Amino acid sequence: MSGLEETLDPQDWEALRALSHRIIDEAIEYTRDVRDRPLWQAMPKEVREVLNSPLPQDPKPLDEVYDLLSKNVMAYPMGNTHPRFWMWYMGSSNFTGALGDFLAAVQGSNLGGGNHAASLVDQQVVDWCKQMLGFPETASGTLVSGGSMANIIGLTVARNQMADADVRTEGVGALDRPLRFYGSDQLHSCHQIAVESLGLGSKSLRKIRSHPDCTIDIESLKFAITEDRAAGFNPACVIATAGTVNTGAIDDLQAIKALCQRENMWFHVDGCIGALIAIAPGNKSRVSGIELADSIALDPHKWLHAPFEVGCALIRDRDAHYGAFTLTPEFLEMTERGIASAHWLHDFGLQTSRGFRALKVWMALQEHGVQKFGRLIDQNIAQAHYLSELICKTAGLELTMETSINIVCYRFDPGQTSEEDLKRINTEIMLQMQETGVAAISDTTVHGRHCLRAAINNHRTVATDLAFLVSETLRLGNAIVNASSLFSH
């Protein structure tokens, strides 16, 4: 070679510096002014064309690339960082976290493990998650892409521990008695995907009826376990939900713990929504008992508002966790000194290479302290109750479900309208709000009744936003009814 080697580094570092400063400036404004832009807007044809162009063969200056991105991507977000985004269930991000993702990429370390500072930060964030939930210091855990993966990690350990054969070696085909997992009919869909991926089949997951408040009916659960045991199944695990996705219902964690103890079953908690209520001073008693679980899935990209992605699985029995995933090929053997002289973090999950997703959580927790995050959770719960009161006071709106934590289920109901028409009107309200970019809510069906659903997991929402949601629902509902003879009554 002759000194003509190529590299991805720039030739002009000063030009890169200038552009990077501009990008940061614009990113700060983008975040500061999020309230002033439409929450969402449909993408025009030209944008779709740009984002469907073929593989670039030739170079472009980076500022042209940035302009393309700025015009075609940054202008068309999903909307979840906006103060009036209450759709599905996600966090609203934070700028410190974005800096964390940037710096994680700048350092570029691989969190498969090794003896370097990022590994310690990763482990420290896992330890902080344990502390937030009151989980024992001796427990283990791992940061993953999100709640779905965190649940898969927990359920994999549960399967291996509860199986009557060595599943890692023999596979599920060697089981004498098929495993059974239990959760309520409000369970998140990721659990079915989990048991399917674990080779157990969707029938291995029994959905137990929930009470009118959407918490699991423990008597029905007991009955199902007894019935399955008599039929030759192996009742292995109860999946309790702390904060269901439809309505925010929190299962009776203490009662489920007691049941699991009596039945010698694994107690897993899907705490993707509610686990972090444990840090909220005004509401933490709602999730007491979570610290008794064998495994927990939680989701820092929800109520800690970390930018996507970061979830966390915590497992009480460290050996069981390690035993489910460890496999060290020769090229990854530990050395006594140097970069490989530490336990591999990949031994606690499915990924070998792992990103430095811990840093965005670490930075925001350092900056604000956990108490502020706790207060923000209390704030969202108080806002949901405030919104519920407004709805109850407003003629033409109906609260369809008593509000538990931060999810409000309601609908526009002008009276004397069929269920079918109500569903059509309310769906139209939801879509018009999204399309005009003023607010985003979703819809769902709870115990057979269709409703609108506002999930207030947002550190930017203020009370006037909620008053606006109420008046806008009413305004759109009346306009839709008046404009359409279909909905005449």
Ligand X SMILES: *Cc1c(COP(=O)(O)O)cnc(C)c1O
Q: Rounded to whole angstroms, how far apart are CA atoms 107 and 97?
A: 15
Residue from 299, 347, 398, 472 that binds ligand X (CB under 6 A)?
A: 299
**Choices 14-22, 266-274, 402-410, 466-474; region in contact with ligand X by CB under 6 A:** 266-274
Site string for ligand X, 16-55 (x = CB under 6 A): ----------------------------------------
Nearest CA among 26, 76, 77, 80 for reference residue 47: 76
- Three-state SS at 443: strand
CB of 188 to ligand X, least distance (A): 3
With binding defined as CB under 6 A, does residue 453 bind ligand X?
no
Q: Nearer to ligand X by C-beta: 113 or 311?
A: 311
Q: Rounded to whole angstroms, how far apart are CA atoms 253 and 267?
A: 9
Q: Nearer to ligand X by C-beta: 79 or 147?
A: 147
With binding defined as CB under 6 A, does residue 101 bind ligand X?
no
With binding defined as CB under 6 A, does residue 298 bind ligand X?
no
CB of 244 to ligand X, least distance (A): 6
**Choices 145-153, 286-294, 409-417, 439-447; region in contact with ligand X by CB under 6 A:** 145-153
Cβ-count burial 211-231 (b if 16+ within 10 Å, e if not):
eeebbbbbebbeebbeebeee
Strands 179-184 and 234-241: parallel
Site string for ligand X, 395-424 (x = CB under 6 A): ------------------------------
With binding defined as CB under 6 A, does residue 89 bind ligand X?
yes
Phi-psi region of 457 (alpha: psi -120 to 50; beta: other; left: phi over 0): beta
Tokens (6 digits) for 80: 């979840």
With binding defined as CB under 6 A, does residue 228 bind ligand X?
no
With binding defined as CB under 6 A, does residue 300 bind ligand X?
no
Q: Under rule CB under 6 A, how many of the chain's residues touch ligand X?
A: 13
**Crossing angle (nearest 10°) for helices 95-107 and 358-368:** 140
With binding defined as CB under 6 A, does residue 190 bind ligand X?
yes
Cβ contact 440:79 at 8 Å: yes
**Residue 65: CA count within 13 A, CB half-sphere:** 9
- Three-state SS at 345: helix
Residue nearest ligand X, Cβ-based: 147
Give residues with Cβ within 8 angstroms of 298, minimum separation 6.
129, 133, 147, 150, 271, 272, 275, 276, 311, 312, 314
Residue from 245, 256, 361, 397 that binds ligand X (CB under 6 A)?
A: 245
With tokens 């430095």, the residue in question is: 356
Q: Rounded to whole angstroms, how far apart are CA atoms 324 and 153?
A: 9
Residue from 84, 180, 188, 459 that binds ligand X (CB under 6 A)?
A: 188
CB of 167 to ligand X, least distance (A): 23
The kind and range of the H/E element at 36 are none
With binding defined as CB under 6 A, does residue 270 bind ligand X?
yes
With binding defined as CB under 6 A, does residue 273 bind ligand X?
yes
Residue from 155, 200, 272, 312 that binds ligand X (CB under 6 A)?
A: 272
CB of 56 to ligand X, least distance (A): 32
Residue ranges that bind ligand X, judged by CB under 6 A: 89, 146-148, 188, 190, 241, 245, 270, 272-273, 299, 311
